Amino acid sequence: MKRAAALLFTGAVILSGCGDDSADATAKAVIDEAALEEGLMVTLSGNLATIDLPFSTAVPAATNDELEAELMDAVSLIVENEATGTTANLTSGSLVDTTPASAGQYTWALDTERDTLTITFYNETTNGLSLSAGTPYVAEFSVTSNEYVVNVPSMAVPVTVQ
C-alpha cells in the first residue's frame, strides 16, 4: 500500500514538474482531471507495478532533473486502503534510474507525445505494505504551484489494481 503511495506520489511529482522552463501558465502541462476522476489503473506484474497518468495538454520540454526537482515538492499523492483505512504517502520511496528491484523504489518515463506519464514501482514499501488486486483503494491527489504543471486542487481518485 505504501509502495503504491510512493508510485502515485512519483507520478504526481512528475506530472506537476513536467513542462518547459517557462513560468508562463499557458506553457504548462495540464493533467487530465476528467480521466483521473474515472480512476487510476495499477497493473501488477510479479514484484513490479505500473500506472499511467494522463495529461490533456502535453508536458513541455524540460530535462528529467528539472522536472523532478520542481515536482517533488509540488505533488501530493496519498493512497488509502478503503477496507482497512491504512494510508501511504507517495512522497516516500527512492527514485531510481533502472528497473525498481527492492522495496520503496520507483522510476518514471514520459511517452514520446509527452502526454502520458508511466510510473513503475516495486510493489512493496519499506514498511512492508503492498497493493493487492481486488482491494478497494482511493488516492488523494493534488498539485501545487510549480513551473511545469497547472495546479490541481485536492481530489479523491479511485484506484483499481489488476
Per-residue pLDDT tens over the stretch 31-42: 999 999 999 999
pLDDT band at 91 (very low <50, low <70, confident <90, very high): low
pLDDT band at 21 (very low <50, low <70, confident <90, very high): very low
Q: How far apart are CA 151 and CA 34, in angstroms?
A: 15
pLDDT band at 55 (very low <50, low <70, confident <90, very high): very high
pLDDT at residue number 36: 92
More confident residue, 126 or 102: 102
- Quote the number of domains for the chain: 1
Residue 45 pLDDT > 70: yes
Residues ≥6 apart with Cβ < 8 Å to 162: 41, 42, 43, 44, 133
Map residue 124 onto helix, strand or coil: coil
Residue 64 has φ and ψ, to the nearest 5°, of: -60, -40
The verdict on pTM exceeding 0.75 is yes
Quote the domain boundaries for residue 69: 2-161
Residue 60 pLDDT > 50: yes
